């Protein structure tokens, strides 16, 4: 019915929001298969709430804004929560957090410090566990907050949830005790579950939360039992009839309550901390954010609770969320955006990579406008077309990925992605090697794009480290035909360089000096700098240590190459193919004339002091970079690995070393400080 003071377009907008949100809710809660990222859902619900606040007549009882969770599934019996399960409001920035704190102080006229119980926000499912006389009698999902589903049988399969509490009935715990917490699927179990599903050609889950939900909603608890779910308690529900004085159990500190629940045998998240003041929250938030990738379970923020239970009661509730608690969420790792175009980039080795140009979107803390699509197979897997709405994900330092296409948002302007028939840069033939997913330009250094990339690689920090030769300058120099191979760099004159855009005489002079200095190098850097496919720093080092001179590497047989550490059939073939190519030989020979490396016959690898010793580096080093330390170790014959195993001999632990340090300690691996490492270098060099 039309209201006098709401425009019909506003009513339409609200109706559209209802339809969309109800649909997304159904997908999320009933099907355990979200169709859009949480951030998109949050944006729409906030939009709806804002309209409702300004136009109360549009707020109906069945509005999605009035819902706490999902409708209960029909197949499980229903459970009415004796005390409703509340929801949490969100904040997304330090400003919003401070506004929350100010409201706390205003409301309670509390000028003293407010203690905060700080918890990670687990990305799982809220459940309520009911213990009567210490025995687990019922477990329910949150459902809509008042009524949930009876999932007792499924919960019983979770190993960390005790079927019987520790301690004595009526003394250590009350007659009736409801514990609330989050059921979640550890990252490792999630990965295993999805890997198996993919192998069997079955559908995989979008994230550990959906996998946990899907596993808890199994009507057959045998399936749940195979899913390896876990649980952390975060609060209490109904508590009744303690024989002595119920206050004995109910300490007035939320944190201490959690500790007490833990004593009864229920797990509590080890990251939970009691903070003395609200000022410490920002630091907690940052620490948890830094640890996020290393944690064994998925989290999407922190939950901050007024610790004092008396104060909690004074603060009370708004709608169905407490005023004394808030979720301070991390920036979303998944967002919705549009693929505006797909372009093809040619890399150093000729690989033609499709790159999606995105409508810029803020995700995982940065603005993203490109995402690699890897290859044709990936595009087919996604079923992607130009102009599609996609979910983009950026987690930690990982490059942004397109997770999926939101098919229900596809319009008639969706366009097929057409792969180029020839190289998009030089128009030469392209081919796709058998067994490989990538398309390659066959022109090698004759292709302008490959030339540019080869020169950038040659002058990069880990190769010849030519300071002042940025990517843009390389591109200009190649475009102006002043250089076409790395060897040409050494023919450049001050005049050539200073004639480039944004290049003064001073920087040209500096660059000439840097190029001159780059002539002095090591064999390992030289090999690395050639940019042979799949020959990275470590392999280049191994090749240099093994063969000791360039011509030995150039003429090595397929078999003798494979005698080198890290070199298998593929890398050996890449090396041979590289040196077979006439245009590469011209460059290598020219460079061989120009470059100098200590011409002493290098020591054979068996004679190096750290041969056969495996090192792992972790934490930050203050006196040198990690890659510098790695290269120095490798030059002494050591192997440097990325992960700790029983085969590791030494762990070099810098500042803020984390899980690797703990693991190394557990395995009794020798731990070296940065100082120890420097002493080691001093001893051998
Ligand atoms: O880790 C969580 N997901 C979490 C959820 C937590 N650590 N604490 C929570 N505390 C509450 C209150 C303050 C209402 C007892 C929660 C939730 N609620 C919650 N989970 C799902 C909806 C609400």
Q: Does the pLDDT at position 3 exceed 50?
A: no
Mutate to test the pocket of ligand 1, among 90, 140, 235 (most ligand atoms within 8 A of CB): 235
Query: Residue 420 to residues 50, 554, 611: CA-CA distances in angstroms?
Result: 47, 34, 48
Which amino acids bring their CB within 6 angstroms of ligand 1?
A: 86-88, 119, 121-122, 126, 182, 234-235, 303, 305, 322, 325
The token pair that represents 69 in the structure block: 């969770």
Q: CA–CA separation, 143 vs 72, rounded Å?
A: 6
Q: What is the pLDDT of residue 588?
A: 94
Q: What span, in angstroms and rounded, lies between the C-alpha atoms of 212 and 229? A: 7
Element (H, E) at 441: strand 439-441
Percentage with pLDDT > 90 across the chain = 63
pLDDT at site 545: 87
Phi-psi map region of 387: left, alpha, beta (phi>0 left; psi -120 to 50 alpha): left
- Write the DSSP symbol of residue 481: T
214 alpha carbon to ligand 1 midpoint, in Å? 20
Report d(CA 252, CA 245) in Å as an integer.
Answer: 14
Going from the C-alpha of 225 to that of each of 76, 199, 208, 440, 561, the distances in angstroms are 17, 21, 16, 47, 50
Distance in Å, CA 231 to ligand 1 centroid: 13
Q: Which atom of ligand 1 is nearest to the CA of 68?
A: 22
CA distance 261 to 255: 10
Q: Which of 91, 118, 140, 182 to mutate to test the pocket of ligand 1 (most atoms within 8 A of CB)?
A: 182
Q: How confident is the model at residue 636 (pLDDT cuts 50, 70, 90)?
A: confident
Q: Is pLDDT of 603 > 80?
A: no
* Active-site entry in 67, 115, 121, 525: 121
The DSSP string of 71-129 is PPPSSSPEEE-SSPPP---EE-SHHHHHHHHHHHHHHHT--SPPPEEEEEEESSEEEEE
What is the edge-to-edge ordering of all strands in the sheet holding 614-618? 639-641, 614-618, 650-653, 670-672
Q: Which of 189, 184, 186, 181 is nearest to 266 (CA)?
A: 181
Q: What is the pLDDT of residues 179-206, one digit of tens each?
A: 999 999 999 999 999 999 888 888 888 8
Q: Which residue has the higher pLDDT, 644 or 30?
A: 644
The pLDDT tens digits for 411-461 are 999 999 999 999 999 999 999 888 888 899 999 889 999 999 999 999 999
The arithmetic mean of pLDDT across residues 604-621, rounded, is: 82
Per-residue HEC secondary structure of 186-202 comes to: CHHHHHHHHHHHHHCCC
CB-based contacts of 591, cutoff 8 Å, min separation 6: 486, 487, 526
The CA distance from 635 to 476, in Å, is 35
Lowest mean per-residue pLDDT among 118-127, 268-277, 593-602: 593-602
Contact 322, 419 (CB under 8 A): no
In this predicted structure, the answer to whether residue 685 has a pLDDT above a threshold of 90 is: no
Quick check: 229 and 158 in contact, CB under 8 A? yes
Q: What is the pLDDT of residues 298-353, one digit of tens each?
A: 999 999 999 999 999 999 998 789 999 999 999 988 999 999 999 999 999 999 99
Pocket probe for ligand 1: among 42, 87, 100, 126, the residue whose CB has the most ligand atoms within 8 Å is 126
Average pLDDT of the chain to the nearest whole number: 89
Query: Above 90 in pLDDT, residue 596?
Result: no
CB 525 within 8 A of CB 591: no
Dist. CA 134 → ligand 1 center (Å): 23
With a pLDDT cut of 70, the percent of the chain lying above it is 95
Q: How high is the pLDDT of residue 602? A: 54
How many H-runs (helices) and E-runs (strands) does the chain carry?
24, 24
Mutation pick for ligand 1 pocket among 83, 88, 304 (CB with most ligand atoms within 8 Å):
88
Question: Which is the closest atom of ligand 1 to the Cα of 122?
Answer: 1
Residue 600: its pLDDT value, please? 43
How far apart are the CA of 462 and the centre of ligand 1, in A?
47
The residue among 378, 515, 504 whose CA lies nearest residue 439 is 378
Whether residue 56 is predicted with pLDDT greater than 80 in this model: the reply is yes
| pLDDT surpasses 90 at 124 | yes
Flag whether pLDDT at 71 surpasses 50. yes
- Alpha carbons within 13 A on the beta-carbon side of 16: 9
pTM: 0.66
For ligand 1, atom 21, the nearest C-alpha belongs to 126
Rounded distance from Cα 540 to ligand 1 centre (Å) = 52
Other Cβ atoms less than 10 A from the Cβ of 403: the count is 17
- 121 catalytic per annotation: yes
Q: With 80 as the cut, is the pLDDT of residue 111 above it?
A: no
216-267 pLDDT, tens digit per residue, is: 988 888 888 888 899 999 999 998 865 554 454 667 899 999 999 998 999 9
| pLDDT value, residue 454 | 95
Name the closest-CA residue to atom 23, ligand 1.
Answer: 87
Q: What is the pLDDT of residues 354-402, one digit of tens each?
A: 999 999 999 988 899 999 999 888 999 899 999 999 999 998 777 899 9
Calculate how far, in angstroms, residue 143's C-alpha sits from the geometric centre of ligand 1.
Answer: 14
The secondary element (H helix, E strand) that includes residue 354 is: strand 351-363
Ligand 1: atom nearest CA of 121 is 1
Gap from CA of 405 to ligand 1 centroid (Å): 31
């Amino acid at each position: 019915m039309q209201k006098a003071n709401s425009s019909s377009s506003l009513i339409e907008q609200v109706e559209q929001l209802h339809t969309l949100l109800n649909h997304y809710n159904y997908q999320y809660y009933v099907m355990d298969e979200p169709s859009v990222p949480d951030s998109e859902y949050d944006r729409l619900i906030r939009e709806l709430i804002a309209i409702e606040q300004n136009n109360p007549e549009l707020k109906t009882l069945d509005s999605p804004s009035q819902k706490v969770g999902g409708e209960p599934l029909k197949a499980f019996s229903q459970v009415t929560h004796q005390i409703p399960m509340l929801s949490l409001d969100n904040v997304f920035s330090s400003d919003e957090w401070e506004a929350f704190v100010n409201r706390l102080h205003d409301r309670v006229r509390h000028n003293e410090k407010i203690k905060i119980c700080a918890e990670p926000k687990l990305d799982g499912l809220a459940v309520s566990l009911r213990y009567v006389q210490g025995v687990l009698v019922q477990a329910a999902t949150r459902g809509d907050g008042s009524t949930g589903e009876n999932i007792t049988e499924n919960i019983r399969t979770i190993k960390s949830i005790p079927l019987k509490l520790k301690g004595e009935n009526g003394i250590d715990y009350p007659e009736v005790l409801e514990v609330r917490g989050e059921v979640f699927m550890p990252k490792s179990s999630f990965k295993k579950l999805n890997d198996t599903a993919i192998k069997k050609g079955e559908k995989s889950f979008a994230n550990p939360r959906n996998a946990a939900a899907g596993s808890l909603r199994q009507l057959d608890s045998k399936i749940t039992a195979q899913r390896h779910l876990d649980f952390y308690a975060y609060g209490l529900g109904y508590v009744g009839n303690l024989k002595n004085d119920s206050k004995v159990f109910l300490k007035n500190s939320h944190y201490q309550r959690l500790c007490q629940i833990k004593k009864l045998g229920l797990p509590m998240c080890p990251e939970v901390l009691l903070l003395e003041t609200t000022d410490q929250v920002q630091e907690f938030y940052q620490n948890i954010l830094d640890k996020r990738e290393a944690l064994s379970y998925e989290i999407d923020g922190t939950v901050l609770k007024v610790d004092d239970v008396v104060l909690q009661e004074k603060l009370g509730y708004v709608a169905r969320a407490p005023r004394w608690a808030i979720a301070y969420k991390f920036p979303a790792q998944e967002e919705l955006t549009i693929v505006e175009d797909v372009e093809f980039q040619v890399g150093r080795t000729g690989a033609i990579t499709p790159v999606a140009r995105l409508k810029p979107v803020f995700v995982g803390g940065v603005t993203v406008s490109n995402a690699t699509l890897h290859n044709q197979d990936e595009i087919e897997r996604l079923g992607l077309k130009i102009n599609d709405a996609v979910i983009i994900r950026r987690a930690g330092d990982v490059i942004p990925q397109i997770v999926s296409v939101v098919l229900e948002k596809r319009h008639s302007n969706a366009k097929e992605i057409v792969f180029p028939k020839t190289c998009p840069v030089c128009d030469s033939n392209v081919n796709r090697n058998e067994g490989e997913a990538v398309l390659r330009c066959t022109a090698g250094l004759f292709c302008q794009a490959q030339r540019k990339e080869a020169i950038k690689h040659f002058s990069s920090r880990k190769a010849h480290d030519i300071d002042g030769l940025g990517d843009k300058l390389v591109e200009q120099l190649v475009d102006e035909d002043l250089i076409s191979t790395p060897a040409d760099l050494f023919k450049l004159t001050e005049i050539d360089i200073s004639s480039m855009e944004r290049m003064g005489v001073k920087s040209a002079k500096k660059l000439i000096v840097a190029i001159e200095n780059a002539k002095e190098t090591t064999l390992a850097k030289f090999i690395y700098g050639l940019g042979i496919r799949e020959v990275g720093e470590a392999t280049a080092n191994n090749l240099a240590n093994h063969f000791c001179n360039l011509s030995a590497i150039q003429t090595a047989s397929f078999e003798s190459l494979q005698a080198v550490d890290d070199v298998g059939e593929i890398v050996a073939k890449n090396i041979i193919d590289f040196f077979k190519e006439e245009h590469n030989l011209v460059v290598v020979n020219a460079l061989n004339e120009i470059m100098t490396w200590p011409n002493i016959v290098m020591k054979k690898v068996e004679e190096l002091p750290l041969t056969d010793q495996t090192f792992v580096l972790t934490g930050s080093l203050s006196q040198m970079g990690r890659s510098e330390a790695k290269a120095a170790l490798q030059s002494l014959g050591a192997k440097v690995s990325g992960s700790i195993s029983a085969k590791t001999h030494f762990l070099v632990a810098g500042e803020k070393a984390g899980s690797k340090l703990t693991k190394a300690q557990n395995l009794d691996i020798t731990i070296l400080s940065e100082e120890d490492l420097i002493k080691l270098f001093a001893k051998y060099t």
